[in-house]
Chain A
Amino acid sequence: MTSVDSQSSGPAGWDYSPAPERTRVPIKDEYGLFIDGAFRAPKSRRRFETINPATEEVLSRVSEAGPADVDAAVEAAKAAGPGWARLKPAERAKFLFRLARRIQERSRELAVLETMDGGKPIKESRDVALPLVAQHFFYHAGWADKLSYAFPGRTPKPVGVCGQIIPWNFPLLMAAWKLAPALACGNTCVLKPAETTSLTALHLAEILQEIELPPGVVNIVTGAGETGAAIVDHPDVKKVAFTGSTEVGKHLARSVAGTGKKLTLELGGKSPNIVFADAAIDQAVEGIVSSIWFNQGHVCCAGSRLFVQESIADEVIDKLAHRMRSLRVGDPLDKNTDVGAINSSTQLKTIERYIDAGGDEGAILHEVNDQPLPEKGFWCRPCFFTGVQPSHVIAREEIFGPVLSVMTFRTPEEALSRANNTPYGLAAGVWTNTGSKIFEIARKLDAGVVWCNTYNKFDASSPFGGFKESGFGREGGLQGLRAYVRL
C-alpha cells in the first residue's frame, strides 16, 4: 500500500488493511452428545476431529453417536414428548422467544464459531446467517399458540419424535429451520449436524440448557452417515426431515418407504438465473454475484446456471469479470472477506473435478480473480465458464462450489425450455424490467422459489423447498408447519 503524497494528484493505490474479527470463542477440547438435557460421553467411545477449513487446524474432538447413543437420544425425546405437547402453547412460545433472544445475545460468538468451523466469511455469518437464525425462532414462537389459525377447522396435534439431519453449508440456520417449527408444533427432536460442522449446534445445546428447555425436548447427536441412518431407521422416530444431497435423499426415501414415517427432503439444485436484455444490467450483475459466489457457492439454491439474452451477453460477461476481480478471497475471519474457504478437502476435490470436466468438454474457464490464496486450508477461486452447452456435465450436475456456467438464449421460450431442462427444481431467478414478463416467466418455471430482480433472499415467513429431484415439503412460513402436525 502506498500512502498519498501530499503534493501529488496522480493515482494512488489504496487497499484495505487486515481487519480480523477479534472475538474469542471458548472452544472445548472435546464435546459430548447432548441427550436428555446434558452432555454425555458417547457410548460408542468414538470421537472424531473437527477442523478449521481455512487453516486445517484441529478445533476440537466431537463425539460420534453410535446406535446405542441414538437409542438413548430417541428415548429421551420420546419420554419428553407428552410433557412438551401438553404444555400450554403460550409457554412453548416463551421458550422459543427466550431461545431467540439468547441467540441474539450470543450472536457474535456463534458467528465466529460458524466461520471457524465451516469456512464461510464472518461477514455472512454475522450479517446473514445469525440474524436469520434468530428470526426463525422468533417467527415460530409466534405460531406456537396460533396453530388453530394455521389450520382452520382442524385440530393440529404433534407428530412425535422428529429425526432431523442437516448439512454443512448453513449449519446453525439449518438447525433453526428444523427445530423451530418442530418445537412450535409441540414435537420433540433428535438433530444431527453434519460431521464437518458440529460446533455451533453444540453451542446451541448450551443455550438450550441456559434457557432451561425441558430435558429431552431437543437432543443433539453428532456423527456421520451411520449416525444419520440410525436416526432415520429408529422405529420411534415418526418424522424425518433431511437437507442435503439428492443421492442421500433418495436413499432416505427408500428406507422410510412403508414405515408410516413422515418425510420432507430439501435436496440439491442446479438453479437457472435468467437475465433478459431489458434488465437493469448492473443490478443483475450484482444478483449473479450473490447467486453463485455467496457462501463459496455452497448453497443448494445457488444460481449456478446463468442464461443471458444474446444481445447483452458480452456486456454482462465483461461486467461480471470486472466485478469478480473485486471479490476478496481469503481468511474467513477477516471482516472484508467476500469468499471464504471451501468447507472440506473432499468438497474441494469434487469442485476441482468439475472444473477439470468443464475444460475437458470444451467450455472456456474464466478465472479472472487472481488474489493470492493462503497456503494452508481449502481454497477455490470464484470462476465462471462460457461456451457451455446444456449437455455439459457442468451445466447438469450440482457442483456446490463457486463455479458458474454461463449460457445464452435468444427468445423467452428458449430461456424457459433450457431453464427447465434439469432434474432439479429448487430455485430460479428472473431479471427484467418488464413486469408482465416477470409473471409470464415465473409462472412457467419449475422451481420452488423464484426470485425476480433479486436472488438469495430468505425470510422465515417465506416457504422454501423444491420440485422434482430437489425434494418435497416446505420449510418456513405457514406451509412449513404442515410437516410437523397431524391433522
Chain B
Amino acid sequence: MTTTISANPERSRGRETSLQSQRARAAFWFLAPMLVMLFFVAAWPLFRSIMFSFTDAEANDIFTGGSEWVGFDNYLSWRVRDDGSIRWRGVLADADWWNAVWNTIRFAFMSVALETVLGLLVALVLNAEFKGRGLVRAAILIPWAIPTIVSARMWGWMLNDQFGIINDMLLTVGFIDSPIAWTARADTAMIAVLMVDVWKTTPFMALLILAGLQMIPRDMYESAKIDGIHPMKVFFRVTLPLLKPALMVAVIFRVLDALRIFDLIYVLTPQSEATVTMSILSYRELQQFGDYGEGSAQSTLLFLIIALFVLLYIWLGRVDLSGERSK
C-alpha cells in the first residue's frame, strides 16, 4: 500500500485543493456577467462623460464625432484682453455654477439635518411600545412609497398660490394675510423644496435609525432604570453613542442622495436661480443647450464632489475592506 505514496511535499505546497479552485472558478463565472454589465452601463459612460468634458462636443457631435480636444478649457480658461484685463471662462468661472453649487450644498445640508432630527424623533416614537405602533409605521411608509415626481405634483398642488390648501390653512389660522406663491418666489422656493423632501425622506431616515435603536439591548435601559439614571442622561450617555455608527451611515447615505437632487426641484419649482442645483444646471447644459463639453465638465465636478463623500462614507462607516463580516 505504501508503494503508491509518492511523498513529494514540494508538489503540494501552496496549491489549492480542487474544492477551493472549483469555487474560485465558479466565483469568476458568477461575477463576470455582472461586471461586464456594470462596465457597460457605469464605467464606460462615466469615462466617456469625463472625456466629453475635455472637448468642445455639441449634441450633434455625438453622432458625427466631430468634436475637438480643448483640454481644461471647459473647466477654466482665460484670455488677456486688449486693455490688459483678464477674461475668465469655463465652469469654474461661471457665477451660475457657483450659485448651483451653493444651492445644492445648502439643500443637502438643511434637508439632511432636518431629516435626521425628525427621523430620530419618529424613530424614538416607534421604538416605544404602544397600541397601534404597526399602524403608525405603516403610515410613515406612505410618503416613502410615493414616487418623487408624484409627491412633487401633490405638494405643488397643495402649495398652489391661489387654490392651495397650505395657503388656506395659514390664512385661516392668521399666520399670513395674503396667499404666498411658495414654489415661484425666490425666498420661499427652497423652503418649499425642503418641505417636500423632508416629508418624503424622513421615513427612510426614521426606519434606518429605528433599526439602529433596536440593536441596542433592552437590558441596558433596564439597568439604567434600576440605577435611577435620568432618561435624558441615558439618551446622551447610552443611546446616542451606540446609535452613532448607524446614524452616521444613514446621514452620509442621505447626503449623497441629496447632492444629486434633480427630479423634485425640476418638477416642483421653475428652476430659477433660487433653487437650481448642480444636476439641473448640468442637465440644462446637456439637453437644452446641447453643450456636451461644459455640461460634462459640470457633471464631472459633481461626480468628484460625490466621490469625496463616498470616501468619507467608507472611512466613517468603517466598511470592512477584507469583505469579511464585521462582527
- Whether chains A and B associate is no
Q: Measuring CB to CB, which residues of chain B are less than 8 angstroms from any residue of chain A?
A: none
